[in-house]
Chain A
Amino acid sequence: DAKTTQPTSMDCAEGRAANLPCNHSTISGNEYVYWYRQIHSQGPQYIIHGLKNNETNEMASLIITEDRKSSTLILPHATLRDTAVYYCIVRAAGGYQKVTFGTGTKLQVIP
């Protein structure tokens, strides 16, 4: 898997949008960008993924730059329950590719 870099931690006020950046400058053309989050003492939870177009689902939006070297996960209205570690991962489609995790971003939503 290509490497990703994320800020170690971020704070966000409750009710505001949380924007979590991720750099993946060595991403290959067939690699998708995935986002997961891990709430304390639980398994990671899938959030969203994309290839090159921006994506939105009920949890979040994913903005991928045109050169695909970076992306931003947007939680539009952060709540206290969104406090978690957020992981950005890139991996190729097809086959059963193993997923390796970087250090992620610890998001603290503040009341």
Chain B
Amino acid sequence: GAVVSQHPSRVICKSGTSVKIECRSLDFQATTMFWYRQFPKQSLMLMATSNEGSKATYEQGVEKDKFLINHASLTLSTLTVTSAHPEDSSFYICSATQDRGYGYTFGSGTRLTVV
């Protein structure tokens, strides 16, 4: 089955620094990937749609200059949280689909803690 690998699983960084999270489709090519953020006891909130070879599409209210998304290949999308602050601490999850219109596979998530 389709596998999506997300790395790192946990990261602690200092306020003001940047953190990169990788999302890889291991056994399939993903033209489109999605990035979500989840705060404790809340549902997943879609942040952006990552498109291979083009700019990401951000949801309303998500700062594109703060959450940089790069989708340079068909198997890798990265999310960089720039100038991180404690309020950016959250659980970040990516997803991708193997087939057009069918189910999405999710990564295992990245727990970001900004201190």
Residues on the B chain within 8 Å of A49, using CB:
102-103
Q: Are A46 and B103 in contact (CB under 8 A)?
A: yes
Contact of B95 among A41, A42, A99, A104 (CB under 8 A): A99
Q: Is the interface of B mostly helix, strand, loop or mixed?
A: strand
Q: Which segment, of A19-27, A64-72, A88-96, faces chain B?
A: A88-96
Asked if B79 CB lies within 8 Å of chain A CBs, one says no
In chain A, positions 38-78 with a C-beta closer than 8 Å to chain B are: 38, 41-46, 49
Report B91 CB to chain A, min CB distance, Å.
7
Asked if B75 CB lies within 8 Å of chain A CBs, one says no
Known contacts A99-B34, A102-B43; A41 and B100 CB within 8 A of each other: no
In chain B, positions 82-103 with a C-beta closer than 8 Å to chain A are: 91, 93, 95, 97, 100-103
Asked if B7 CB lies within 8 Å of chain A CBs, one says no
Residues of B within 8 A of A (CB): 4, 6, 31-32, 34, 36, 43-46, 49, 91, 93, 95, 97, 100-109, 111
- Interface residues on chain A, number (Cβ under 8 Å): 24
Q: Are A96 and B31 in contact (CB under 8 A)?
A: yes
Known contacts A99-B95, A101-B44; A42 and B109 CB within 8 A of each other: yes
Provide the bound-state CA to CA distance between A38 and B103, in Å: 15
Residues on the B chain within 8 Å of A104, using CB:
43
Contact of A43 among B43, B97, B103, B108 (CB under 8 A): B108
Residues on the A chain within 8 Å of B44, using CB:
38, 44, 101
Residues of A within 8 A of B (CB): 34, 36, 38, 41-46, 49, 87, 92-104
Q: Are B43 and A101 in contact (CB under 8 A)?
A: yes
23 residue pairs of the A-B complex, CB under 8 angstroms, read: A36-B106, A38-B44, A42-B109, A43-B4, A43-B6, A43-B93, A43-B107, A43-B109, A45-B106, A46-B103, A49-B102, A94-B100, A95-B100, A95-B101, A96-B31, A96-B97, A96-B101, A99-B46, A99-B95, A101-B43, A102-B43, A103-B43, A104-B43
